[in-house]
Amino acid sequence: MKPPVAFSILAGFVLLFAGCDSADPELEPVLLDVKMAENIPADPASGRDPDTGASISNNLFTLYDLEAGSILIPSSQTDAATRQRDSTSTAWDIGFRGTTIIFNGGTSGPGEAAAQLLAQPFAEVTEAPEGGYVADGENTSCPQVSTPVGPVPGSPYAICTGSDNGWYNYNPATMLLAPIPGRTIMLRTASGNYAKIRILSYYQNNPDPPDAAAPSRYYTFEYVLQPDGSRDLTSE
Amino acid sequence: MRPICLFLALVIVIPSVTARAQQIPADSVRADSSRVVEMSPIVVTATRSEKALEDVAVPTTVVLAETMRMQGALRLNDVLVTIPGLALFEDHGAGLQVQGFAPEYTLILLDGEPVIGRTAGTLDLNRLTLQGLDRVEIVRGPSSSLYGSEALAGVVNLVTAPAAEGLRGALGGRFGSFGTTDLTAEVEAGRERAGVRLLIDRYASAGYDLTPASFGATSPAFTDWTADWRSRFALSDRVLLRLGARATVEDQKGAFALNDDGVEVRYDDEGRRVDWSLHPEAQIRLSDRLRLTTTLYGARYQAETRYRRQRDGELLYDDDFDQYYLKAETQFDAVWNGRHLTSLGGGAVRERLGGSRYGPDADGDRPAANQAYAFAQHEWLPLRLFELSASARFDAHSDYVARLTPKIALLLRPADKLRFRASVGSGFKAPAFRQFYLAFTNAATGYSVFGATRVQEGIAQLQAEGAIDHLFFDPATLEEIRAESSVAVNIGGSFDPFPRLNFSVNGFRNNVRDLIEAQPIAQKTNGGFVFGYFNLARIYTRGIETNATIRLIAGRQSRLDIALGYQFLQARDREVVEALETGTVFGRDPSGREYRLGLGDYGGMFGRSPHKATFRAAYSHTPFGLTASIRGRWRSRYGYRDLDGNALANRDDEFVTAYAVFDATVTKSVPAPGSADAEVQFGVDNALDVTRPTLIPSLPGRKLYVSLRLTL
């Protein structure tokens, strides 16, 4: 999709329905769409070990293109050549495998993508921060894993891994994994545009109330992408 | 009639206390009653020696057998739930919440010795019959300086009635809703130098179902047998031997259904629990001022659970648990003069575990632990105004770091009607068995959990199998696990502004550290984590407990007592409090809107009501042999789940709403042939029929019952 075309069509419709007595359309803030991505598989179980009964998965990422709003490579794609071709492109922005989220940059991809996690509600983020983005492999601020022998550094993903360190927490009593409210992933995409992302569910079909019995490793998330390179993320 | 006088005459008692105690008319002693008209009951738990309740410097409550019978209480949970400030905490059985702590932090004693057999930390109070008891004592605040592990939040001591002189038999039967029956037979024979009491109790229920739409009862049917033997034998004027023995068996039968790809599959759930304890004790009066008590205590607890598919009887799940506990202990009590009392003691404990979850280690040895301990207590009464007691205990254990636990308590009597109590002490709880000995791998999801004594060999084995992807740190550098520990302050007092009116208040604060949590040690090649147990979390609980008792009618023929209790409680995780203060915690409402939470939005730890109130009224009319009792308890809402992902109870739908339960009993003595006494009782529990089917499965609807007791 070419954003300028889409926008002129949209602006045309706005003018058509709003009539000519409205203010100059160029001064109106352009409200961005909140897009929804549902049931994005993040390396879900693909079978069971016949001996132990442990679930087996492909140990592969699903790579997602925010601008197109579609999956570029699913985690079920095991053909190495296909994966190699697509994962080394800059067409994808964000990848999911289990609870790990990667971005197309740094140690994860050839792009320039970088991200950060804000402790701010999704709806209240109307402008992307100017700085603070880090690429995967470069994050030195992940909470250390506390151990009796002293802390050890966490994995240097842009969004730190582990319960309560990044986007989710895990409750061992209910065995439920839940996105932490008030956490917004801020992304500068491979093509230099800004986006905000909120993870809504880790379970298939986003069950309400959350249900640990539902198949896990299926992301539902919403996002707002500013395609014009500005940091404005005002959405409808 | 409770034979306290006889008991005290036989047990060699600290002279000053004996002098006071023997004046007590045994049948007029009442728990929580005004001390103006009656003498205070004698308690033993707070100081490990006999002491008048009113002179104990730590918050202590006593409920006598007479009160429990009047309230129609059968099991320990029935009586504890009526006591201000205590709450039941349902988790694998009816557990007790004292000062905001989960059940695993309260020690339950039978004649001063620990009752064993906990599931997920809960000792099911419904296991313990109240038959054959003289009283139940409850001490709040840590008593680890005398009792060691588990006495962190408090101690509950079930004190049996010693065999009285003469020959006596009693038969009791109770029949009530949900097929509940309790049948008791008791024989007691005693002379001055020896006595024995044998009790058999059968307690059964047909279970109940609060969710008829779904398959399986909410509470399963069970039959519970208790046989209890208590005997005393005075070898000489100086030597008293006692033997206590108890055996209980419970069979339970329930059913449940699981959903297997949309098909309901039904299972039978059968459980059996067998436990016994043997408790011989010798008390030797070495001189007028020196007493030696030597105790042996052995206990075993076995539990088994079986789930069988109804269709073909196939065994889906079986779990066995087997615990041995052996203890030898000696205690010296010395009265230097009326002003100095010293107790010194020491002992050793050996515990052994068996069962499916705690298999033999790499050397083929079953999990076993050894412990040695010593304790000392000194009570100093320099003036009538003032009493000070200090105690400390040292515990050395084979599997966790040795520790010293001190406590100091002060009682002030500035006036006859006024008492102040203050105590500062430490409490601790040893790591649970799973935190020591678990070696578990979940085949379905691929994670592993190792207890502190198993983690080295467990990781080594996984490494040898090539199952470890990477270690977060070298397990060889792991520190030895520590007991969870607390520092607690209790400050309060009691005041009798008028005769027959008593106020008491206690403020408490418990700072707890080294709470044990599971944390990852390594990641496996299958992506799963390997967990170990570490001393990490810190919590605090604080609050105020108040109690008021008033005797409105105090005639010779009738009396009316009313008691009101209230507790305010905050139980909070420190990490959560810090995060709330820095403003990084948010909630999410059902529509998805997110909002920042402040400290005021924190509902506290799950299962803790910030406000609780109790009400009791008891009326007795002696000429008619009639007593009537009404009890009420109310608790404010409490959190039980997290829906919005912040791991806290903050949204309304994350709370169980407030509720109140009222119970009532009427008891009347009725004519009986010959010298026998007969008593009939009608009762209703949960008179307003309050239920919360899925949230509080332990709260059945209205329960009516009738019971008959015959004393020969």
- Residue B27: CB atoms within 10 A of its CB come to 11
Comparing CA positions, the residue from A219, A147, A145 lying closest to residue A185 is A219
Mean pLDDT value of segment B259-282: 92
Distance from B439 to chain A by nearest Cα, in Å?
A: 16
- Residue B478: CB atoms within 10 A of its CB come to 18
Mean pLDDT value of segment B418-438: 92
Q: Reading across the β-sheet that carries A70-73, which strands appear in turn?
A: A70-73, A62-65, A94-97, A100-103
Question: In Å, how far are B62, B116, B222, B299 from B127, measured between CA atoms?
Answer: 20, 11, 11, 15
Cβ–Cβ below 8 Å for B521 and A147:
yes
Q: What is the pLDDT of residues B104-123, one digit of tens each?
A: 999 999 999 999 999 888 99
Of all helices (H) and strands (E), which one includes residue B435? helix B433-437
User: Which residue type sits at B233?
Assistant: F
The residue written with tokens 């008209």 in the block is B37
DSSP state of A108: T
Measured between CB atoms, does B260 come within 8 Å of chain A?
no
Measured between CB atoms, does B316 come within 8 Å of chain A?
no
pLDDT at A185: 96
Give the pair of three-digit tokens for residue B398. Answer: 């084979």
Q: What is the CATH number of the domain that holds B446?
A: 2.40.170.20
Mean pLDDT value of segment A114-138: 93
> Which of A11-25, A200-214, B206-220 bottoms out in mean pLDDT, i.e. has the lowest?
A11-25
Distance from A200 to chain B by nearest Cα, in Å?
A: 9
pLDDT at B28: 37
Q: What is the pLDDT of residues B335-394, one digit of tens each?
A: 988 899 999 999 999 999 988 778 777 778 888 999 999 999 999 998 888 999 999 999
SS3 B392: strand
Distance from A114 to chain B by nearest Cα, in Å?
A: 22
Residue B584 with chain A: CB contacts under 8 Å: 119, 182
Residue B521 with chain A: CB contacts under 8 Å: 147
Number of domains in chain B: 1
pLDDT at B346: 97
- Mutation target for A interface from B259, B521, B586: give the one with most A CBs within 10 A: B586
CA angle B299, B301, B306 (to 5 degrees): 170
Residue B264 has pLDDT above 70, yes or no: yes
Cβ–Cβ below 8 Å for A122 and B594:
yes
Cβ–Cβ below 8 Å for A149 and B479:
yes
Residues of chain B with pLDDT > 70, as a percent, come to 94
Comparing CA positions, the residue from B621, B623, B617 lying closest to residue B558 is B621
Q: What is the pLDDT of residues A148-175, one digit of tens each?
A: 555 666 678 999 888 888 999 887 777 7
Of all helices (H) and strands (E), which one includes residue B464? helix B455-464
Measured between CB atoms, does A147 come within 8 Å of chain B?
yes
Q: How confident is the model at residue B178 (pLDDT cuts 50, 70, 90)?
A: very high
Residue A147 has pLDDT above 80, yes or no: no
Residue B527 with chain A: CB contacts under 8 Å: 57, 59, 98
Residue B645 with chain A: CB contacts under 8 Å: 168-169, 178-181, 210
Residue B424 in contact with residue B405, Cβ under 8 Å? Answer: no
| Mean pLDDT score across all residues of chain B | 89
CB-based burial label for B471 (10 Å; 0-12, 13-18, 19+): middle
pLDDT at A214: 87
Residue B592 with chain A: CB contacts under 8 Å: 200
Residues of chain B with pLDDT > 90, as a percent, come to 70
Q: How confident is the model at residue B11 (pLDDT cuts 50, 70, 90)?
A: very low
Residue B432 has pLDDT above 70, yes or no: yes
Cβ–Cβ below 8 Å for A180 and B646:
yes
Cβ–Cβ below 8 Å for B444 and A179:
no
Q: How confident is the model at residue B590 (pLDDT cuts 50, 70, 90)?
A: confident
> Which of B12-16, B182-186, B194-198, B345-349 bottoms out in mean pLDDT, i.e. has the lowest?
B12-16
Residue from the list B443, B641, B645 with its beta carbon closest to the beta carbon of A179: B645
Residue from the list B518, B595, B642 with its beta carbon closest to the beta carbon of A171: B642
Q: Say if residue A74 is preceded by a cis peptide, omega within 30 of 0.
A: no
* B525, closest residue in chain A (CA to CA): A59
Q: Cα(B112)–Cα(B137) distance, rounded to whole angstroms?
A: 10
Residue A212 has pLDDT above 90, yes or no: no
Residue B480 has pLDDT above 60, yes or no: yes
Cβ–Cβ below 8 Å for B519 and A59:
no
Residue B535 with chain A: CB contacts under 8 Å: 148
Residue B444 with chain A: CB contacts under 8 Å: 53-55
Which domain, by its residues, includes B180? 4-711
Residue A164 with chain B: CB contacts under 8 Å: 647
Residue from the list B446, B479, B586 with its beta carbon closest to the beta carbon of A148: B479
Residue from the list B446, B596, B643 with its beta carbon closest to the beta carbon of A209: B643
Residue from the list B520, B535, B584 with its beta carbon closest to the beta carbon of A119: B584
pLDDT at B90: 82
Residue B36 has pLDDT above 50, yes or no: no
Residue B518 in contact with residue B432, Cβ under 8 Å? Answer: no
Measured between CB atoms, does A123 come within 8 Å of chain B?
yes
Measured between CB atoms, does B465 come within 8 Å of chain A?
no
Residue B534 with chain A: CB contacts under 8 Å: 146-148
Distance from A122 to chain B by nearest Cα, in Å?
A: 8
| Mean pLDDT score across all residues of chain A | 82
